[in-house]
Amino acid sequence: MIEKAKAFAAKAHHGQKRKNSSEDYVVHPIRVADLLKNAGFREELICAGYLHDVVEDTSYTLRDIEREFGMDVRDLVAAHTEDKSKPWQERKQHTIDTVREASFEVKALIIADKLDNLRSLQKDIEIYGDDVWKNFNAGADAQKWYNQSIVAVMTNGLNPDEVPEYFYEYKRCVEQTFD
Residue 134 confidence (pLDDT): 80
**Total-model pTM:** 0.95
CATH code of residue 78: 1.10.3210.10
Residue 110 confidence (pLDDT): 98
103-117 burial, b at 16+ Cβ within 10 Å, e below that, comes to eebbbbbbbbbbbbb
Rounded Cα gap, residues 108 and 10, in angstroms: 22
Catalytic positions are: 56-57
Residue 23 confidence (pLDDT): 83
Q: What angle do CA 25, 92, 113 make, to 5 degrees?
A: 35
Domain carrying residue 82: 2-178
CB 177 within 8 A of CB 125: yes
pLDDT along the chain (179 residues), means of 10: 97 86 89 98 98 94 97 96 92 96 97 96 88 81 95 96 96 94
- Count: domains in the chain: 1
Task: Kindly report the number of other CB atoms within 10 A of residue 40's CB atom.
Answer: 8
